[in-house]
Amino acid sequence: MFVYLSKKIAIPNNVKLNCIAWNKEEGYIAVAGTEGLLKVLKLDQAANNGQNKGGLAAVSNLSMNQTLDGHKESVKVVTWNDAQQKLTSSDTDGVIMVWMLYKSAWYEEMTNDRKKSTVAGMSWTSDGAKICIVYEDGAIIVGSVDGNRIFGKELKNTHLSGVQWSPDNRLILFALANGECHLYDNQGNFAMKLSIKCITPGSSTGRVHHIASISWFSGRPANNRNRPVLAICYENGKVQIMRNENDDAPAIFDTNMRNVDAKWNHDGSVLAICGTSLEAATPLRDTNQVCFYSPLGRLYRTLKVPGSDITSLSWEGKSLRIAMAVDSFIYFANIRPDYIWCYFEKTVVFLNSSGSGTSTSTSTTSSATVTPMNVITFWNTVSNQSFLKEVEPTLCLAASNEHCVLGVECVSSNIKEIALSTLEGRTGSTQDDRVYQLLLCNSIGTTVDSKYTDIKPRFVGINSGYVAIASYDEILIWHYHTPKIMKELGKNDVEVEQSVYDTFGSFVVILTTFFGVILARIVTHSICPRSNQTKSYFMEFPLIVLPGVFFVTIAAAYSGIFVALMIVLSIWFIWKSCAFALAKKRTKFYIGKRPIVLSVLRSMIQLITSICILAVDFKSFHRLYRKSEFFGAQLMDTGIGFFVFSMGFVSQRPQSRIDLRRSVFGAALPMILIGCVRTLLVILLNYHLAEHEYGRHLNAFFILGFTKLFGSLFGYLLSSDIKLLPLGIGILACHQEFLSRGISEYVESKRMEPMSLLDVNRQGLFCIPGFVGMYLLAIYFSKWLRSKAVLNYREMLQKMWHLGLLSLLFWTLCSASSYTFGICRVTCNVGYVCWIFALFSTMLTLAFFVFEFIINSVYPVEDINGKQLEKETFNLKERPGDKKIATDNSEEIPDDLKDTIKIPDDIKAPRVTYVICESVNTNGLTFFLGANLFTAISSSNLHGVKARKEKRFHIDDTPTGVELAKDLLQGQQRRVNDPICALALSEKLLLVARESGVINEYSVANVALRNRHTLHSKVHKIAINCNSTRAAIIDHVGVMTLLELDDNRETQLNFSRVERKDVWAVSWAKDNPLLLALMEKTRMYIFRGNDPEEPISCSGYICTFEDLEITSVLLDDIISIGELQNSSHLIQLRVKSLRDTDDLLEHVGLEDAKQFIEDNPHPRLWRLLAESALKKLELDTAENAFVRCANYPGIKLIKRLRNINTQILQRAEIAAFYGEFDEAEKLYMDADRRDLAIDLRMTLCDWFRVVQLYRMGGAGVSDQQMETAWREIGHHFANLKSWESAKEYYEKSHYLEGFMDSLYHMEQFDELEKCVDKLPEKSPLLTKLAEMLVSV
């Protein structure tokens, strides 16, 4: 909060004031003093054209200044009965007078004179029904509002100094002259003596501590279930604040001044104590001050008050002002509360002061507390709609770009239990079990991300990707994630063009590893002998594995460049080595039952998948390669598809029960068992699992196992391999049909209610049919590819040509799928299957061409002994002593080769020994399981940072930018002598201020301490400009200074001399790092560099500063006063350069305005110049202005205007460009261009006006044009469900389909039946009509 003196009223004749009281309901101020002075004043704020409605900046005038006559001696006590609108006063003679308001004037209602002692205090109950009067001699009188005495009591040998009612009016608290506090019930019976811990009343030293004031807050504490409400202030500066009369652990503090008076504000959140400083060494007139404390004794603000003797203070009804009686003057101070609020996306978000949920009020006995709830309002200032969000007690609020963050305390038992279970390292032995939650919300209050923490968010900041919170000693930086906002075209949730681009982008990344294998093959053949596998491994590793790692992480942006370079080098290699000529000389190309290219591709799949699942937890992993949440074609989406395809490619259709048993028990069930083990471990270890991939309990091993199981069963039921093709296509077609009939939406939906086992695993279950179809088609594709083991040159070319055509076909189908039903890995739809086939067939084509056709021709194949085989393949004729090719049970030699292919004994099968590829391919399952295991281990180690997406450190730590920063160990408590007092976060920097004046500067990305700045005062607020080069600092007394953050001092202005006092809010412009707006008392100053503009009277809180306009909101009226928010609470203020430009354009001319804008450039000013120039048809000036502000539509408009010869048509185009459509239509009609006016209204879909323009033209309008207009109007009413009007216009337009729909919705079935006669034979509408009639 911020407090500053705003007004002073002098009392005539220099009469000294003794007390002051402000009526909470009607705003009357009662002041009393010596010589029997008693006055009633009232301040009213003058209206100022509605701009400062309810704001403190409005001029306040005295609407009442009445002197009440009746007291002869000095008036010592005045108190208001707010409920009954009565004023009670008492003087030193003991005369008590009650005043009432009658016809806008105050009159004496009753008088009481005990004539024995002086009144020490008076207090009304909260409902205004009773008053308790205490005298210095110990007499007590309790009376009713109508003047009747309820009871009287005299305390023997007791002197009283004050009295207060309890909030529930059941108890009366008396302050004794000896410093004790006694409690009585409302019948005058002694209850108890309060435990005073801040002093020792009547101590052995003989010194008596007098009570200066007691204040018992009578309302309900806002936003806190257990807030202290009873304040007891002693003259020596000691203060004790208790939650209730039985509080054994009150808040105790010392004000370091001679206390005089104390009062709670309207909601019990601030205690104001006035007095005279005990430490001041300045003249007497500077010793008066008012201190503002929290209910727990934390000092908010200190206000210095001129004068020699301050005697009393009182709050305004809504605590926006405070009045103080000092000598013979009344001083007023304005309060600027620190509301919990923020602004983003044209939305004001604030905590309702009266929106607190249920909470128990303080009472005499402890009772069960009810969980308090807060209501947060999201007010859209454009549509004037408000959305309410009920949350737990809110501590802080901040906003940036499209989201805001709420810091709340978890107090409800169920949420607290969940929070404690999610916090890492939290043990039950921790004494402080308080837990907090960060809620990331959009502009309508929907939570899009959340985070539990045990750090109390006293300070908060947010940018486009991070939230920073801080307690007094710890800092937490949370990297939040929000759902991607993408356009929905058809059934896709991503743009079609982006989806098509992603399909090819993933292929480029795969090519980087492919070219790595090519380089390894060439280099190892040239340098390393094939028999030395260890040396070959170390040669292949940096060429195959390292590029795969780099191009999915730090070098992701350069994968395309690498592929292009490798293509160029490949062309050079082919030309230099005469590869085509060498290949043409070869008579045979050995493919075999398991081609080496297939081994290479399978190992590439394993490598890429393993690298991705290991790297995905690191920040360096390219985010665009992550798995899509639903629709999309990213790199990691290929993993499960490639595994299923390659599994089918190397499998055989079971032809016997033995084959079926081998497939089921040897492959399918083991993978399902591995999936069960993985699921069990995930549950036991509480490992984070992305449910959008396969569901809550399923994983990739289940998918592979069930695909193998069902694929083998379907294959066993077939009689021949040729039937695999129609069966696979049929399964995919049925699967896609079911998806289009609602299954896809069901799988995609994010259900929040309790879900069944099917619901939580729907992603994994409903994709299995698609993978089964892919598996069967992969078997068929493999049969076709490997139909012949050895090919001649012509057959090899033909095989590669057919593979190329298939690849082109699949890419065409993949692109078409993107424009129809999308590419979705989660459901394995037809688009995804086509994409996987396109990738695999393309890679097969390239592999056959590169490895078999090119490289094996240039570098002939070697056997394991290093012996070079002949370029001419061995003779296929059988020779004595030859043996047949060895085969396993899963591979059979085709019938046409069984009797012809023979291999000499001394020659091994011609296979190239790719060390890494063959090792990975041979031990595929082990390799993949190992990759998953290392992923789990690395994720567990990095879980403190990566999985939870946070970085946490102590304010005394010095993070150096390492990934973990320096996480605090749970359970260790570190004392801090210099706590945090402020925090600010920009896109690049985090500034954390400490009470000593030290400001730590951290970089946001890697959390490294960059610099330390030192000020000479305690920081209250920090704001960083848009490019993070400087910050505005407001200290605890309201002095604003600027802090330079940029290291390049030469190019920066000198801001050291900028210093302003009484500043309570600052805001940097979003589009100019030199523009700063600040609030100084009730004036707004705008700084451009070092130079301030003329101040603007305003009391609003600054929302945003953008485009040379400042948006402010009158939060006092909305939150404190409780008015219903509307457009009048929002203030738009323009900077001086914008106002001057308007004046120049209106009164001077374009040239002077242009020169002024060149001296003060800004896109907004250039747009103003362009608009003014267009209105005057100065096209050259307008074009220049549009170019300067980069307005491409405006430049296109200029080009269009140059082709129009008539000025009136040019003006019409300009009016349409700026949205003045009525003016544009009028100009078109004046130019006799009704056709252009009609085109304009058609573009705006204003078909009612189109019909009017048609009728105005008379002849020349065709029936078809009118029918089109009627039909569009019918569509308009149909969208509004106004079927009667839709029927009328559909009938006029002879649009039978719409006419039928209207009759059907109106249930006019008899008339609907007559539509049969209106339809021609074989009309497609006949079927629709029949369905309508059948459904009746």
pLDDT in tens, 967-989: 443 444 566 788 999 999 999 99
Match 């402020």 to its residue by tokens. Answer: 982
pLDDT recorded at residue 234: 93
Looking at residue 427, the DSSP 8-state letter turns out to be -
Looking at residue 156, the DSSP 8-state letter turns out to be T
* Residue 1214 binned pLDDT confidence (cut-offs 50, 70, 90): very high
Q: Long-range CB contacts (< 8 A, 24+ apart) of 52-55? A: 52/1097, 52/1098, 52/1099, 53/1114, 53/1117, 53/1128, 53/1129, 54/1114, 54/1116, 54/1117, 54/1121, 54/1123, 55/1082, 55/1098, 55/1099, 55/1100, 55/1114, 55/1116, 55/1117
Helix, strand or coil, per DSSP, at residue 23: coil
Q: Which residues of 712-723 are buried (b: 16+ CB within 10 A; e: fewer)?
A: bebbbebeebeb
Q: Long-range CB contacts (< 8 A, 24+ apart) of 70-73? A: 70/36, 70/38, 70/95, 70/97, 70/108, 70/111, 71/32, 71/36, 71/37, 71/38, 71/95, 71/97, 72/36, 73/36
Least confident of 292-306, 829-843, 962-976, 1180-1194: 962-976
Least confident of 134-143, 255-264, 750-759, 1138-1147: 750-759
Cα–chain-centroid distance for residue 630? Answer: 21
Q: How many CA atoms lie within 13 A of 733 on its CB side?
A: 6
As a whole number of angstroms, the distance between CA 46 and CA 56 comes to: 10
Are the beta carbons of 329 and 307 closer than 8 angstroms? yes
Are the beta carbons of 621 and 553 closer than 8 angstroms? yes
List the structure tokens of 1110: 């400042």
Helix, strand or coil, per DSSP, at residue 1144: helix
User: Which residue, 396, 476, 394, 475, is CA-closest to 948?
Assistant: 476
* Residue 869 binned pLDDT confidence (cut-offs 50, 70, 90): very low
pLDDT recorded at residue 1259: 67
Question: In degrees, to the nearest 5, what angle opens at C-alpha 469 toward C-alphas 463 and 471?
Answer: 160
As a whole number of angstroms, the distance between CA 846 and CA 437 comes to: 53
Furthest CA-CA distance within the chain: 145
As a whole number of angstroms, the distance between CA 890 and CA 897 comes to: 17
As a whole number of angstroms, the distance between CA 982 and CA 805 comes to: 66
Least confident of 277-286, 372-381, 823-832: 277-286
pLDDT recorded at residue 943: 45
As a whole number of angstroms, the distance between CA 741 and CA 1256 comes to: 49
* Residue 618 binned pLDDT confidence (cut-offs 50, 70, 90): confident
Does position 1276 have pLDDT exceeding 70, yes or no? yes
Cα–chain-centroid distance for residue 549? Answer: 32
% of the chain at pLDDT higher than 70: 83
pLDDT recorded at residue 782: 83
* Alpha-carbon distance values, 478 to 280, 441, 464, 968 (Å): 45, 15, 12, 15
Looking at residue 1214, the DSSP 8-state letter turns out to be H
Strand partners, 253: 239
Looking at residue 12, the DSSP 8-state letter turns out to be G
The larger pLDDT score, comparing residue 626 to residue 1182, is at 1182
As a whole number of angstroms, the distance between CA 485 and CA 1049 comes to: 40
Q: How many CA atoms lie within 13 A of 178 on its CB side?
A: 14
Helix, strand or coil, per DSSP, at residue 507: helix
In the sheet where 435-441 sits, what is the strand order?
Answer: 394-400, 403-410, 435-441, 447-453
Q: Which amino acid type is present at position 1056?
A: S
556 phi/psi in degrees, rounded to 5: -60, -35
Does position 184 have pLDDT exceeding 90, yes or no? yes
The larger pLDDT score, comparing residue 574 to residue 328, is at 328
Are the beta carbons of 1055 and 1074 closer than 8 angstroms? no
Looking at residue 1327, the DSSP 8-state letter turns out to be H
Per-residue model confidence as pLDDT tens digits over 794-808: 888 888 888 889 889
Contacts of 912 (CB under 8 A, 6+ apart): 521, 596, 851, 856, 861, 862
Least confident of 359-368, 377-386, 601-610: 359-368
% of the chain at pLDDT higher than 90: 31
User: What's the first-to-final CA gap in the chain, in angstroms?
Assistant: 68
* Residue 1048 binned pLDDT confidence (cut-offs 50, 70, 90): low
Question: In degrees, to the nearest 5, what angle opens at C-alpha 901 toward C-alphas 898 and 903?
Answer: 130
473 phi/psi in degrees, rounded to 5: -140, -10
Does position 861 have pLDDT exceeding 70, yes or no? no
Cα Rg for the chain, rounded, in angstroms?
42
Are the beta carbons of 207 and 191 closer than 8 angstroms? no
In the sheet where 980-985 sits, what is the strand order?
Answer: 980-985, 989-994, 998-1003, 1008-1014
Sign (positive or negative) of CA dihedral 1304, 1308, 1309, 1312: negative
Strand partners, 241: 231, 251
Phi-psi region of 165 (alpha: psi -120 to 50; beta: other; left: phi over 0): beta
List the structure tokens of 664: 């089921």
DSSP secondary structure string, 512-574? HHHHHHHHHHHHHHHHS-TT-HHHHHHHHHHHHHHHHHHTTTTTGGGHHHHHHHHHHHHHHHH
Contacts of 875 (CB under 8 A, 6+ apart): none
Least confident of 286-290, 410-414, 699-703, 877-881: 877-881
As a whole number of angstroms, the distance between CA 1183 and CA 1161 comes to: 16
Least confident of 626-640, 902-916, 1301-1315: 902-916
Contacts of 677 (CB under 8 A, 6+ apart): none
364 phi/psi in degrees, rounded to 5: -75, -30
User: Which residue, 996, 990, 1002, 985, is CA-closest to 1019?
Assistant: 996
As a whole number of angstroms, the distance between CA 701 and CA 707 comes to: 10
Are the beta carbons of 281 and 235 closer than 8 angstroms? no
* Residue 755 binned pLDDT confidence (cut-offs 50, 70, 90): low
pLDDT recorded at residue 240: 93
As a whole number of angstroms, the distance between CA 1139 and CA 1130 comes to: 19
Are the beta carbons of 640 and 707 closer than 8 angstroms? no
Strand partners, 61: 44
3-state secondary structure string across 673-739: HHHHHHHHHHHHHCCCCCHHHHCCCCCHHHHHHHHHHHHHHHHHHCCCHHHHHHHHHHHHHHHHHHH
As a whole number of angstroms, the distance between CA 978 and CA 958 comes to: 15
Phi-psi region of 821 (alpha: psi -120 to 50; beta: other; left: phi over 0): alpha
Does position 752 have pLDDT exceeding 70, yes or no? no
pLDDT recorded at residue 503: 62
